[in-house]
Structure 1
Amino acid sequence: MPVISRLLSIPLRIAEIAFAAVVVGIIGHYLASFDSIDPWPQARWIYTEVIGGLSILLGLIWLIPFSSGFFSWPLDVLISFAWFAAFGILVDAIHHLPCGSIWSWEFRGDSVCARWKAAEAFSFLSAILWLVSALVGIWFTFRKRDTTAEATTTRRRWGRSRKVDAAATA
């Protein structure tokens, strides 16, 4: 079973890194171009930048194939909630623009609305991917183990095994 969870985990981490990079690029462009606006919108965008940067960093670290990466699922849930908050911040910011519905994700072209819609869409999708990654980690951590193999053979130090009577272990 660890093979299946690893095969699921690697594409999820790559997609999380890519989606966070898209959001960081778009919001970073706006932060660089608007330096004389009210500090409150900049604080929201800086929060989104920090969450995106943290997602890229953690995604790269947890992309390294160790099984201990599956035990980081509480942080995956936390990052997912942070992405949902960033999505809410972007929805609130785009609400003041004449861009239409927040669920109308038509982000073709080079307009302001298209860029905001792209940042909004990728932040929502990133939140979903981090949540799915947490579910994979939970599944890996708490999956059902084969109890019959554990009852007949126990492992001693350095990988040597010995036979044990099933009645003696009960």
Structure 2
Amino acid sequence: MPVISRILSIALRVAEIAFAAVVAGLVGSYLHDYRSDSGLPLARFIYVEIIAGISILLGLLWLLPFASGFFHWPVDLLLSFAWFAAFGLLVNYVNRTTCGGHTFDWGHLTRGGFCQRWRSTEAFSFLSAIIWLASALLGLWFIRRERNKTAPVDDRA
């Protein structure tokens, strides 16, 4: 069973890196093209870019095969919450634009254009939050399972 959990952990880490890279690329492209004197509306995008960068860095570091790979679950959970916050910020932004619509209306993302780019960013930030949450749950499950294996057995009964 440890082999399956380790393979699943590696697959989740690769997905975390890929999803964060997509979000970082899309938001980074917007930040690069942005021209304005005030930086205040950019705060949400800078936050998303920072979370994506941290996710890429930690995903790459934790992809290395160490024995303590499952002990990072609290940080995975924290990053999941950070991604959910980023998703909320992106939803708030997109709903204020001409795109509007339903939050989970992610059909036709490959057609290109402004709205499809932001819908893609929403989708990948949500998927990243789910994958980080799954990674945290896998780590918690693994730690609890190992703790139960090493728990002393009471033979007095």
The TM-score, its normalising length taken from structure 2, stands at 0.90
Question: Which residue pairs with 1:145 in the alignment?
Answer: 149
Task: Please say if 1:36 is aligned against 2:36.
Answer: yes
Question: Which residue pairs with 1:17 in the alignment?
Answer: 17
Aligned mates of 1:75, 1:127 — CA distance in 2: 12
Which stretch of the first structure deviates more once superposed, 86-95 or 138-147? 138-147
Of 129, 132, 144, the match for 1:130: 132
Residue deviations 1:59-114 (CA, integer Å, cap 9, x gap) = 00000111212101000000000000000000000011122211101212221000
Q: Which runs of 4+ in 1 moved over 2 A?
A: none
1:99-114 to 2 correspondence within 5 Å? 99=99, 100-106=101-107, 107-114=109-116
Query: Which letter does structure 1 place at the counterpart of 2:128?
Result: S
1:58-77 to 2 correspondence within 5 Å? 58-77=58-77
Specify every segment of 5 or more residues in structure 1 that has no aligned partner in the other structure, as ranges: 152-165
CA deviation after TM superposition for structure 1 residue 146, in Å: 6.7
Which stretch of the first structure deviates more once superposed, 40-49 or 97-106? 97-106
Q: Which has the larger radius of gyration?
A: 1
> Kindly tell me: are residues 138 and 114 of structure 1, through their superposed partners in 2, closer, same or farther at Cα, counting changes over 3 Å?
same
Aligned mates of 2:42, 2:25 — CA distance in 1: 15
Aligned mates of 2:144, 2:58 — CA distance in 1: 22
Specify every segment of 5 or more residues in structure 2 that has no aligned partner in the other structure, as ranges: none
CA deviation after TM superposition for structure 1 residue 39, in Å: 1.8
Query: Which letter does structure 2 place at the counterpart of 1:101?
Result: H
Question: Which residue pairs with 2:52 in the alignment?
Answer: 52
CA deviation after TM superposition for structure 1 residue 41, in Å: 2.1
Query: Which letter does structure 2 place at the counterpart of 1:102?
Result: T
SS in 2 for 1:70: coil
Question: Which residue pairs with 2:97 in the alignment?
Answer: 97
CA deviation after TM superposition for structure 1 residue 38, in Å: 3.6
Query: Which letter does structure 1 place at the counterpart of 2:142?
Result: F
SS in 1 for 2:102: coil
CA deviation after TM superposition for structure 1 residue 145, in Å: 1.1
Aligned mates of 1:37, 1:104 — CA distance in 2: 33
Residue deviations 1:5-55 (CA, integer Å, cap 9, x gap) = 101101100000000000000000000001316422211100000000000
Identical aligned residues as a percent: 57
Question: Which residue pairs with 1:157 in the alignment?
Answer: none
Q: CA RMSD in A?
A: 2.0
